[in-house]
Structure 1
């Protein structure tokens, strides 16, 4: 043992000696630097007597006129004239040297060793007790007394060192707080001794142990006033952990929560006295954890838990909330997050009690009281305004859970419950919930309106208005789901209209007020509430898919209101509503499910897509009046999307007997989709020239690409009657006319629509596609004429092969005539391409397959046509062009 002490003393001596050598070297280097700068130290004055006080150094007085004549300068800058005037009077003194940063050795010797020593003392006390138990040296009573004595000695040592330091004339150093460490070790030993007397030796009854441990924890918190935050942290953990150490078969929750109220009051008081926000937050978190036992009882006794929530909320309002009663001060109407979070946490606990008790009446009343208290405190202290938003969310969640819990069928049936399923809306809890809901709606709504203009911080009125709009709407939805079971309800529709009127009045009043912080955003929020309430009214009064229509109409309404009241948020709201409608149809494209029916065109798809499409087109017109921005583009995209979906789904519905989910498509359906896509692309090309919208531009391209892909993979491959067994009914009025001739004409028109307005390759590609479709139509019609309804079987007789050549050649001549008549170079080039294909066919196919008279006629006819074309180009086309190019001279 003595060898260990000798080694320890040697190590400490080495550390002290090394530290002294480092300090001497530092002082010497500083002195050398001062001497090198030319500074000479003045004689050292004799030390002052204990009763004497050093007089502050004085500087020669500077004339006031000199100071007044100089302009103001920032406090960290020096006026040149003052420095020049005083330079001769003030003696030169060296600038203060920055303090040297503590090194590793200093940190070890002044901080870490002390902390380690305190921990060692506490563990030493525990180990001594453990050793006495293992060796059987002392009885339980003596062990307990010795533990208490050791704890008392440590506490006394901590107090003695604190007082010695407070009376010392030595300035405080940035070192570890030795008194706090000793006191912390003493409280830890005392806590462990008291717990051992209860748990190990049965010297204390549970109630006595609980009281004793609580007193130790509270004493630790009290000592933290003198010894700092480390002791406070130890005390708060011990105080809230005491109930876990002392257990009972029949727990008394009233005693538990009264004790926790005392601990919370002590902790909040300490946090307020020392302005330790971390201590307040820790206390709130630990107190909220003690709400969790309520979740284990089904249903619980609400009283103790309600007392815990009310007591904690009250103490937080009194001591933690800035700018309210005894809390810290708050300036400039700032929102303080610790203050807001404290109230919101206890309100969250009250909500848990309501949910765990299955909406017991007492729990609802307590929750309502704390919610009202939150509004009152936030009204008085702007620092807690951020608690209003979670309060509104908790209210909505409580009533939503109430509605769903008693209507579990709503979770199964998307369209609402079946008739007769679900509880009666007249049970005894409904009246209480209706009363509380009405009070909440009035409180939040009126406060959200009246709070406007009361604060200089823009965030405060925005939070109030958002909560004032959200809460009445959420409550109305929850009550509708609970009482009306998501079915039609004219009374609820009337309530929604009344709410919309109130919100509209608030919007109108606020829009006429002078500019104040947050007023624009708050006005926009009330306008949003107006439109949302109208949408709910339509939902309550109408069936199923009308909700989609109502939201789309609301989007158009928001866009129109934005033209009357220039509130930027209304534009965003219009786009948000459009996005919601898009998501809605993504969930169920048929809008109303099986109720869409089988009637072509005039079915629910027409209303479910047509009215929203019209609404979004109207909204885009309103939004474009005030500029091109992201909300406008979103609404334009929604308008185009719904227009395209309306056309495509109506085609699919009509072609498949109402089954839009069929996984295959036929030639007619594909042809209609291609024609529709090309027609809409033409319309968008025309529209983009007037609007200049990038959405119209991109959408036209996308529709064209879709038509091209559907033509390539659908018309030319998957649905090609020349490849697959597809019956073509009708000689000339048949699917071929719709699938190939009509797309050819539309593609040609689209190529002319983009001529000169897009890249030349884009228009030429469309013209080439039109030419290919036209040739395909001619060829397939010839095949239909010779082979009958099924084109994919049978051979190709000479007369059919010869007819292809004659038809292609005639088509080329027709294109040439059109090109000359319309003076279109593109038509003449198309004619050249068709004739070249005909020449290739004659020499490559007809020469090898045709026999007899058909081979001769094929070549003779081709030759005559080629000669005629050459003569026409020489004598008519180029002669006319040359004549027109020759300048006219007058004689």
Structure 2
């Protein structure tokens, strides 16, 4: 017998167990009943909603026809009952709008299906892997079981589709269960066929390719029945199957053939059904696999990785760039960003793979793959104007490939051997020539035959055709001549200029016969390219490699052509050339060589910075559109003109003070002062110009130069290169010495900037400029007094005499009085406040230092002079500044 406590415990445990077991059942029953009740309520609401529309409204009372006046409100009464059953619009949208499903709905209808599909896919692949590891079955049995599993999953998915689709389509946000099961079967089929080929050698390359194609073809038809979910999961499983199955002992050649087949079928699904996301998934997966194969490529399998990346690039170009615009007429074929991004992804991935495989030199396979990666976006652009941006992508591909090209072997062995070497200079030049001429030909032919091309497409063709040969020539020159004088490259630039001139003449004749915007753009682009080629030739032959000079002259020529031929689109070519120059300056602000002449001012800096600054300034003037706000091309040209002009002044200062060495690691007080003065001068000029041009570049540049001058003056002149702290020598006499250009002139320039910028710049800017002028002015006076007593070295460690102490007080008071006089005469409150500060500083010095440091008559004179000055200042304020009836200045 059990005691009462044990019995009670058993009863409680049973009740708890019963509750635990019944709770899920009750939850299922409650949810099911709620679903039925909800459907009944929705049906009742629909019936009630139809009643006002189908059941006629009772007619108005009998007196209505007899008495016309009461009949007027009667027609208005029937609609009111129709409005009263308003649950119809309230219930219907709520039932048809599952915008924010609950967590429970998301879990039960989405997450479980996704997790189940992923589990099926993993199970199909891991089952094969487990059988391999455990040796449970022979290779043939493993393949057979894999095929049976794939067939069972596909059959189960089709059975579920037929059974469930009869009850109506599921909500759009719910995952498709039949498609998920079928996708898992597709993954199993792909993995099994791949294992039969790569792991066990049951299939050769050709049969494996046929079977993989058959699986993909079957999956395509299944996706037509099951929707995009099957295609997406099938693609994910097919691309991930090699990673899950493992056993890549046969090298990467099987993958190089298998993966393009998978991507090709995915692109076919995407194109036939309009599944854009599937195409995106295929492109991203192909790019990832290309990088993996590039990393895994052994010495003997470089060709496999190269073949894979070329095949994937060609396949991606079809659905993204070529097919979308195949039936569109030229006038409706506006360039789209999506094809350009797809082509750029393929070309960029290919460039990374080429960079990975360049360690053994550029052999024939490497060069052929490089040509293919340039030709694919160029051919897509030539095929349809929708992908016209592919031509600039091809130009970028040329630039990238030439940048990563292995260093050519020059001067080794017999010249005939160098002609045959794949990694010699001839191969580099041949690649650049073939690729750039192909791009130029594609763009020129498109422009000549595309009289109805929209302006954006024509501009893309013109930019690509003109810029491709120029970029190739410049990069080959850098790789082979290393910036030195090269007459051969100068001759090549002349030949390119002649070819571009011939194209411009051809476009001019064609434009005279059949005028069109495309021909006008082509004419302007090739004429600008001819100017740019001549500028390159000049640099190659004379200047020793200043690309900054050549690009600036090309920009000026392009601006002149745009103005002369009235081609506004060419203004963007000026902006493009400006961006190239900006990138060159960002990479290395020093654009001149080490053999710079030591002659001040008249040296190579004028060609490296002065001429480009003038060229961009003139280009900005030429491309300015009257009556319109400054746009991007104009702003780029203005910014580069200002930046190059400042770099010219900056490097000329360093050149003059360091014996021609602009990269000297040292600096000094005079250099810091001249740089500060130059910055203030630029800020002052830009403030003036901004008033007439209204350019945001000039406005921002004036603020930046002012901030730079303030930082340079306070830190460079006040701390780091202050001769009082560094004890550096000061050249010159008592009145005219290094302190005048280092401190005196910058102080005046800062005060001038503050006065000029008062009406157009922020208050903080004006106050900061005023403070900088005051600080530099005080330093100029103080350091000048110490220089007069100490000589060329004025460091703090040197003894200070009584007369010098007195002179400092007198100088500060004198400067304060001068500022006060200026403030009273000009009504400047700022000057009077600065005067009060200086007078207060002198007063503190007299009471704190002169009283203890001075002796004899100097102490008395110090106090007498201070007292007289303070009384005089008081009189001035009483009589002139704050006299009754006289308004005080407030400036």
**TM superposition score category, shorter chain reference:** 0.5 to 0.7
User: Retained in 2: the 8 A contact 1:377–1:384?
Assistant: yes
User: Retained in 2: the 8 A contact 1:500–1:530?
Assistant: yes
Mapped pair 1:480 → 2:477? yes
Mapped pair 1:433 → 2:431? yes
Name the CA shift for 1:623/1:482 in 2 (closer, same or farther; >3 Å): closer
The counterpart of 1:453, out of the listed 451, 454, 458, is: 451
2:630 is aligned to 629
Secondary structure of 1:596's aligned partner: coil
Q: Distance in 2 between matches of 1:135 and 1:833?
A: 94
Provide Cα deviations, 1:377-399, integer angstroms capped at 9, x if missing partner: 65444455455444443344334
The counterpart of 1:443, out of the listed 429, 437, 441, is: 441
Name the CA shift for 1:297/1:605 in 2 (closer, same or farther; >3 Å): same
Q: Distance in 2 between matches of 1:811 and 1:246?
A: 86
Mapped pair 1:394 → 2:397? yes
1:55 is aligned to none
2:605 is aligned to 605
User: Retained in 1: the 8 A contact 2:325–2:385?
Assistant: no
Query: For structure 1, which segment, 138-147 or 432-441, has the greater mean C-alpha deviation from structure 2 after superposition?
Result: 138-147
Q: Distance in 2 between matches of 1:840 and 1:110?
A: 85
1:67 is aligned to none
Provide Cα deviations, 1:83-102, integer angstroms capped at 9, x if missing partner: x9xx9xxxxxx999959559
User: Retained in 1: the 8 A contact 2:381–2:390?
Assistant: yes
User: Retained in 1: the 8 A contact 2:448–2:519?
Assistant: no
1:405 is aligned to 406
Mapped pair 1:541 → 2:541? yes
Name the CA shift for 1:375/1:716 in 2 (closer, same or farther; >3 Å): closer
User: Retained in 2: the 8 A contact 1:206–1:246?
Assistant: no
Provide Cα deviations, 1:323-352, integer angstroms capped at 9, x if missing partner: 688x99999436678877887777778878
Secondary structure of 1:495's aligned partner: helix
Provide Cα deviations, 1:111-139, integer angstroms capped at 9, x if missing partner: 99999999999999999999999999999
User: Retained in 2: the 8 A contact 1:728–1:789?
Assistant: yes
2:501 is aligned to 501
Q: Distance in 2 between matches of 1:341 and 1:661?
A: 41
Provide Cα deviations, 1:158-209, integer angstroms capped at 9, x if missing partner: 777878999x8x8777699787677667777778888999999x89677889
Q: Distance in 1 between matches of 2:567 and 2:310?
A: 41
Provide Cα deviations, 1:449-477, integer angstroms capped at 9, x if missing partner: 33643445x55334333332332223323
2:658 is aligned to 656
Secondary structure of 1:406's aligned partner: coil
Provide Cα deviations, 1:607-647, integer angstroms capped at 9, x if missing partner: 43333343344445445673552555554454444444444
User: Retained in 1: the 8 A contact 2:451–2:516?
Assistant: yes
Provide Cα deviations, 1:469-489, integer angstroms capped at 9, x if missing partner: 332223323443455454323
User: Retained in 1: the 8 A contact 2:223–2:231?
Assistant: yes
Shift of the alpha carbon at 1:296?
1.0
1:57 is aligned to none
Name the CA shift for 1:110/1:772 in 2 (closer, same or farther; >3 Å): closer
1:471 is aligned to 468
Q: Distance in 2 between matches of 1:847 and 1:824?
A: 38
Name the CA shift for 1:562/1:723 in 2 (closer, same or farther; >3 Å): same
1:73 is aligned to none
Q: Distance in 1 between matches of 2:561 and 2:701?
A: 27
Q: Distance in 2 between matches of 1:343 and 1:680?
A: 44
Q: Distance in 1 between matches of 2:201 and 2:701?
A: 84
Name the CA shift for 1:723/1:394 in 2 (closer, same or farther; >3 Å): closer
User: Retained in 1: the 8 A contact 2:381–2:387?
Assistant: yes
Q: Distance in 2 between matches of 1:142 and 1:546?
A: 70
Q: Distance in 2 between matches of 1:114 and 1:425?
A: 63
Q: For 1:20-169, what aligned pairs fall within 5 Å after superposition?
A: 22-23=35-36, 26-27=39-40, 30-31=43-44, 34=47, 38=51, 98=92, 100-101=95-96
Shift of the alpha carbon at 1:440?
1.7
Q: Which structure has the larger Rg over C-alpha atoms?
A: 1
Q: Distance in 1 between matches of 2:780 and 2:130?
A: 104
Q: Distance in 2 between matches of 1:139 and 1:842?
A: 102
Name the CA shift for 1:539/1:238 in 2 (closer, same or farther; >3 Å): same
User: Retained in 2: the 8 A contact 1:500–1:534?
Assistant: no
Q: Which has the higher helix share?
A: 2
Structural RMSD (CA): 7.1
Q: Distance in 1 between matches of 2:190 and 2:511?
A: 63
Provide Cα deviations, 1:3-59, integer angstroms capped at 9, x if missing partner: xxxx999999996997578546644664477458755989xxxxxxxxxxxxxxxxx
Q: Distance in 1 between matches of 2:869 and 2:147?
A: 124
Q: Distance in 2 between matches of 1:743 and 1:257?
A: 68
1:71 is aligned to none
Q: Distance in 1 between matches of 2:841 and 2:116?
A: 104
User: Retained in 1: the 8 A contact 2:744–2:780?
Assistant: yes
Q: For 1:786-825, what aligned pairs fall within 5 Å after superposition?
A: 796=801
Shift of the alpha carbon at 1:405?
0.4
Secondary structure of 1:542's aligned partner: helix
Shift of the alpha carbon at 1:446?
1.9
Shift of the alpha carbon at 1:599?
3.8
Q: Distance in 1 between matches of 2:336 and 2:874?
A: 91
Q: For 1:289-688, what aligned pairs fall within 5 Å after superposition?
A: 293=293, 296-300=297-301, 302=303, 306=307, 313=314, 317=318, 322=323, 332-333=332-333, 356=357, 359-361=362-364, 364=367, 368=371, 375=378, 378-385=381-388, 387-401=390-404, 404-407=405-408, 426-429=419-422, 430=426, 433=431, 436-437=434-435, 439-447=437-445, 449-450=447-448, 452-455=450-453, 459-487=456-484, 488=486, 489-498=489-498, 501=501, 529=529, 532-544=532-544, 546-568=546-568, 571=571, 574=574, 577=577, 581=581, 584-585=584-585, 587-622=587-622, 626=626, 629=630, 632=634, 635-661=637-663, 665-666=667-668, 668-669=670-671, 672=674
Q: Distance in 2 between matches of 1:280 and 1:836?
A: 78
Name the CA shift for 1:346/1:145 in 2 (closer, same or farther; >3 Å): closer
Shift of the alpha carbon at 1:491?
1.9
User: Retained in 2: the 8 A contact 1:217–1:236?
Assistant: no
User: Retained in 2: the 8 A contact 1:399–1:479?
Assistant: yes
Name the CA shift for 1:513/1:243 in 2 (closer, same or farther; >3 Å): farther
Q: Distance in 2 between matches of 1:636 and 1:212?
A: 63
User: Retained in 2: the 8 A contact 1:447–1:468?
Assistant: no
Gaps of 5+ in 1: 1-6, 43-83, 88-93, 409-416, 879-891
Query: For structure 1, which segment, 23-32 or 203-212, has the greater mean C-alpha deviation from structure 2 after superposition?
Result: 203-212
Query: For structure 1, which segment, 482-491 or 512-521, has the greater mean C-alpha deviation from structure 2 after superposition?
Result: 512-521
Provide Cα deviations, 1:291-338, integer angstroms capped at 9, x if missing partner: 66476143547489759956994898599953688x999994366788
Secondary structure of 2:543's aligned partner: coil
1:881 is aligned to none
User: Retained in 2: the 8 A contact 1:122–1:186?
Assistant: yes
User: Retained in 2: the 8 A contact 1:323–1:383?
Assistant: yes
Secondary structure of 1:471's aligned partner: helix
Name the CA shift for 1:628/1:574 in 2 (closer, same or farther; >3 Å): farther
Name the CA shift for 1:528/1:448 in 2 (closer, same or farther; >3 Å): farther
**Count, aligned residues:** 795
Q: Distance in 2 between matches of 1:763 and 1:308?
A: 59
Q: Distance in 1 between matches of 2:724 and 2:137?
A: 105
Name the CA shift for 1:321/1:751 in 2 (closer, same or farther; >3 Å): closer
Q: Distance in 2 between matches of 1:666 and 1:8?
A: 88
1:61 is aligned to none
User: Retained in 2: the 8 A contact 1:221–1:236?
Assistant: no
Shift of the alpha carbon at 1:569?
5.3
Shift of the alpha carbon at 1:448?
5.0
